[in-house]
Amino acid sequence: MPLALSTALVASAVSFSAVSVPAWAQTQQSEYRFAIPAGPLEDALSAYGSQVKASISYEPGLSRGRTSPGVQGVFSAQAALDRLLQGTGLQAVAHGSASYTLLAQDSSDTALQLGATTVDGLSDTLGNVSEGSRSYTVGQVSVGKAPQSIKETPQAVSVMTRQRLQDQQLTTLGKTLQQTTGITEFQGSMTSAVYLSRGFEVTNFRLDGGATLRHAAWMEMDTAIYDHVEVLRGADGLFAGAGEPGGTVNLVRKRPTATPQASVMLSAGSWDNYRQELDVSGPLAFDGRLRGRLVAVNQDRNSFIDYAGAKRKLVYGVLEADLDDATTLYGGMTHDNLRGSDQDYGLPRYATGEDLKLPRSTYLAGATDVRYLTNNTYFLHVDRQLSDAWTLSLDTQYNRQREYRNDYNFNGAVDPQTGGGVFAEGGTQHFPKTEKAIDVSLKGTFEWFGLEHGLTAGWNWTDSKGRDDTASSGDVVVDDIFNFDPKDYPSNKGRSSPFGYLTQNTKTDGVYGALRLQLAEPLHWFIGGSLNNYHYSYDNLTYATGKSTPNKVEDTRVFLPYSGLTYDLTPEWTAYTSVAEIYKSQSDRYTGPPGGGTSLDPITGRNYELGIKGELLGGRLNTYAAVYYTQRNGSALRDPRYPYSSNSTTGTSCCYTDDGEVVSKGLDFEVSGELAERLEATFGYTYNHNENKVSGAAYNSLTPRHLAKLFATYQLPGVLSQLKVGGGVTAQSASYVSGSALLRDANGGLTGDSVDYRFSQAGYALWNAFAHYQLDEHWSVAGNLDNLFDKHYYSTVGYSDYGNFYGTPRNFTVSLRGEF
């Protein structure tokens, strides 16, 4: 399939200039590819009329002195005309499908009201809602299964559009989340991290709004294949099921387009970072009823860290077919191969907690340490239009992941007199994983008592299997961290002895339903819930003993209710409130005494949110402000009456009590889209206070109290209209971890006595800059400069023995892009 699809799509790209758009695609999809530059309005209208064969009439002198921002990308004829008139003070009145009259915006009460960046196609399709719009916001999101506007969603939602990803060179999901409002990163290794929102981990990830997936390598996912990324903050028990109340990430794939298009991107950056992208899309056969798309990525890069680098080869292919007038099917695959180095545990500190002040280029790993990761994802989605108001959808996903590591895990607090104390275990690991998911949903609207209501209902099922095969080559000791040489630690290949394996299997199934009831003209009530079953199994075998003790745990008939209200204050502003339930299993934590206790009850709680949302300037600008309060009850706490123990054969640990109570509260604010003519921006601010009510300390001190993120671009007017400039800043208050550290004696040695300590990273700001120049109709060049002032900081602060990661120094990327 990938070879056949690639051949067909490359052939489509080669013949691009000679292909005429099929009549079916023109009449049904009404999409054209425009490349009209900013400039005098008369010139822009002339180019537009010639391309779409439209007649545009207006009074003499009406266009004199007016300039158009131009339009580039794929739009309907009407949407493109809306963009050309943006900021001109004029509006178009349509007379049939190919004739317009221009009027001043206040000259006719019945004139068409224009939404210049509202792109046709923001209706029931999941993909391509942001591609070509040049906007930092979208008209709708699908994180709640049924497409609806951001304003109608009674929780805080941020969107990273295709234009934002492209402008800021956000090529991985990890980089994207680092720039998303309210999200902070907690790095676990050079290639893995978790993301925090409101003090909790974000544990729910979906593709195209389907079932929640657990085991994909999310941080490293390449964004070249996605139209946009949606991030919902707060508990999402309705559609995501069990998990932390941090939020949900929904990645929406690019879909084939109704008209031919192709793009190529070449970039080069700091530390020999070279990347190439190809994106080809368009109709293939049957008068446009069969369409296809191919995205290919090749990247070879080094790092600011010595010996570190990675190579990526990615291919994404998708076919979309209109089987009949009511049925659309799309399916495809992604092959992603990544080979690179890794540094598992980061850097240590002195045993006293003091910073080692090592160079940012320090690579605490073996020179030949390597990590191979291959992801093959297959998907199939079917939409069946049952009527004008109802759609039945089937979404299936299959992910097969293979990971291999050959490395050393260095950790250990450093003796301030000798530089010793760091040690490592060398070995190899194989991690084969598979994940299958099915989601069937029915969504639509109906009338009742003269008002319109909506319903989304469905069933989902997932089956996740993973295995960890481990081999060990023994322990090594670092005599002096300041004279560490990665070349002293050879490859473990052929020197490791099999140690054992751990298998994990998680199966879930459940039903969900959500009603959107219109109680009055401006008032909507969202009510729903999900009923889920969870099945967990673990099996750990050590080859030396030959013993294997499988362990199985079930949580069945778990019901998670949800309720929300929205009230339309005006056509532009909506007030909302919502309550969502929290559920997380703790079946792997046991009460005392050791060997005689029972597993803890699940964590439960609620997420409360109250806010206001605005959809302004015809949808070109979205904003919201929200206050939230999250309470988690029953969190596991260590039981001081018993010693800690871990059972590797069952995957459980002891001993705990379930007296923990965690509270997180704060404020979210965001404004995103067109702030002014030619100015696209996103500004987000988050305040968070989280607390463990039992200890009185912060529950998650790596979540800063204050977090602000800004990125903006401005298209210059007039003769400089080919130039777009921009930049931004990410600023946060201090973060820290708490632990214990040893005291020094009078001679600078260690006394053996310990004291509580905070390892802190002071607040900081990272600035970046951006410039883009349109060379001609097809080609453009752009430059990005990140960490403009070369701030020296820890992106993640850890403990004395491990977990400290330096942030990336100042770096640049230059890219050349062609669009055809």
pLDDT at 113: 35
Residue with tokens 């492209």: 166
pLDDT in tens, 275-309: 999 999 999 999 889 999 999 999 999 999 999 99
pLDDT at 697: 85
Q: Cα–Cα distances in Å, from 499 out to 410, 466, 522, 601, 730?
A: 19, 17, 64, 33, 44
Q: Cα–Cα distances in Å, from 510 out to 459, 513, 514, 516, 561?
A: 6, 10, 14, 20, 13
Please determine, for residue 265, whether its predicted confidence score (pLDDT) is greater than 90.
Answer: yes
Whether the CB-CB separation of 382 and 372 falls below 8 Å is answered with no
Q: What are the b/e assignments for 654-688, b being 16+ CB within 10 Å? A: bbbbbebbbbbbbebbbbbbbbeebebbbbbbbbb
Please determine, for residue 30, whether its predicted confidence score (pLDDT) is greater than 70.
Answer: no
Gap between the Cα atoms of 55 and 45, Å rounded: 10
pLDDT at 790: 97
pLDDT mean over 435-460? 92
pLDDT in tens, 468-503: 888 888 899 999 999 999 999 999 888 888 888 888
Gap between the Cα atoms of 631 and 636, Å rounded: 14
pLDDT in tens, 91-128: 887 755 566 778 776 544 333 333 333 333 333 345 67
Options 3.40.50.300, 3.60.15.10, 3.55.50.30, 3.90.1150.10; which CATH number does 32-104 get?
3.55.50.30
Q: Calculate what percentage of the chain has a pLDDT beyond 70.
A: 89
Query: Using 50, 70 and 90 to split pLDDT, how confident is the model at 630?
Result: very high
pLDDT mean over 543-565? 82
Please determine, for residue 213, whether its predicted confidence score (pLDDT) is greater than 50.
Answer: yes
pLDDT at 270: 96
Please determine, for residue 241, whether its predicted confidence score (pLDDT) is greater than 70.
Answer: no
Please determine, for residue 758, whether its predicted confidence score (pLDDT) is greater than 90.
Answer: no
Q: What is the dihedral sign for C-alpha 352, 354, 358, 363? A: positive
Please give the sequence-ordered ranges of beta strands (E in DSSP) within 449-550, or none if there are none: 451-478, 497-520, 523-542, 547-548
To the nearest whole number, what is the mean pLDDT of the chain? Answer: 85
Gap between the Cα atoms of 702 and 733, Å rounded: 10
Gap between the Cα atoms of 108 and 6, Å rounded: 51
Query: Using 50, 70 and 90 to split pLDDT, how confident is the model at 18?
Result: very low
pLDDT mean over 646-674? 82
The CATH superfamily holding the domain 261-475+486-819 is: TonB-dependent receptor, beta-barrel domain (2.40.170.20)
In terms of Cα–Cα distance, which of 225, 230, 224, 268 is closest to 247? 230
Please give the sequence-ordered ranges of beta strands (E in DSSP) within 23-110, or none if there are none: 32-36, 39-40, 55-57, 67-68, 71-75, 90-94, 99-104
pLDDT at 31: 64
pLDDT in tens, 583-611: 888 877 888 887 777 888 888 899 999 99
Q: How far apart are the first and last CA of the chain?
A: 25
Pairing outcome for strands 589-590 and 652-654: parallel
pLDDT mean over 746-761? 77
Domain boundaries, the chain: 32-104, 157-253, 261-475+486-819
pLDDT at 128: 76
Please determine, for residue 8, whether its predicted confidence score (pLDDT) is greater than 50.
Answer: no
User: Among 321-335, 336-350, 382-396, 738-752, whose mean pLDDT is lowest?
Assistant: 738-752
Task: Pick the more confident residue, 148 or 75.
Answer: 148
Please determine, for residue 651, whether its predicted confidence score (pLDDT) is greater than 70.
Answer: no
pLDDT in tens, 789-820: 999 999 999 989 999 999 999 999 999 999 99
pLDDT mean over 515-543? 89
- Which pTM does this prediction carry? 0.83
User: Among 2-6, 186-190, 267-271, 358-362, whose mean pLDDT is lowest?
Assistant: 2-6
pLDDT mean over 709-722? 94
pLDDT in tens, 189-212: 888 888 999 999 998 898 988 888
pLDDT mean over 159-179? 95
In terms of Cα–Cα distance, which of 146, 137, 151 is closest to 228? 137
Whether the CB-CB separation of 375 and 188 falls below 8 Å is answered with no
CATH code for the structural domain at 157-253: 2.170.130.10
Task: Pick the more confident residue, 356 or 217.
Answer: 356
Task: Pick the more confident residue, 79 or 288.
Answer: 288
pLDDT at 793: 95
Element (H, E) at 287: none
Residue 552's Cβ-side half-sphere holds a number of Cα atoms within 13 Å equal to: 4
Q: Calculate what percentage of the chain has a pLDDT beyond 90.
A: 53
pLDDT in tens, 133-152: 889 998 888 888 878 889 99
Please determine, for residue 17, whether its predicted confidence score (pLDDT) is greater than 50.
Answer: no
User: Among 134-148, 210-224, 302-316, 697-711, whose mean pLDDT is lowest?
Assistant: 210-224
Whether the CB-CB separation of 378 and 333 falls below 8 Å is answered with yes
641: amino acid identity, one letter: R
pLDDT at 638: 80
Q: What is the DSSP string of 688-748?
A: EEEEETTT-S-S-TTS-SEEEEEEEEEE--GGGTTEEEEEEEEEE--EEEEEEEEEE-TTS
Q: What is the dihedral sign for C-alpha 541, 542, 548, 549? A: negative
